[in-house]
Amino acid sequence: MTFGEFDEVATPMLHGMAEESTVVLDLSSLEYISSAGLRSIAKIRKSMRTRHGHTLLLNPQPQVRKVFDIVKAVPLNEVFSSVAELDDYLDRIQRKIVDGTDDDD
């Protein structure tokens, strides 16, 4: 898939995202990224930011990881190497939210 094609798919999906929602990008199958791809990811991140949401990246491949490192694309805590890691993270977040609301009661 080229970046162009990706954008075409991603943009409408973004519009449908709720406030404070989280987008998870599964990069397991992405073997190569260039600046165009970076722009696409940037767009998603910007979009989610305006929604006060998060963009999480899952399992980037070596080349992608290298590129991310060079440009410092995302904060390290938003990159996860495995699904398990991601699930843990999400659970923790949910618990926080729940506890938070409980405290409010």
CB of 75 to another protein, least distance (A): 6
Distance CA 60, CA 79 (A): 8
Residues in contact with another protein, total (CB under 8 A)?
A: 22
Please report whether residue 90 would count as binding another protein according to CB under 8 A: no
Please report whether residue 70 would count as binding another protein according to CB under 8 A: yes
Please report whether residue 38 would count as binding another protein according to CB under 8 A: yes
User: What is the crossing angle of helices 35-50 and 3-15, to 10°?
Assistant: 0
Distance CA 12, CA 75 (A): 25
Binding site for another protein (CB under 8 A): 31-32, 34-36, 38-39, 41-42, 45-46, 49, 62-63, 66-67, 70-75
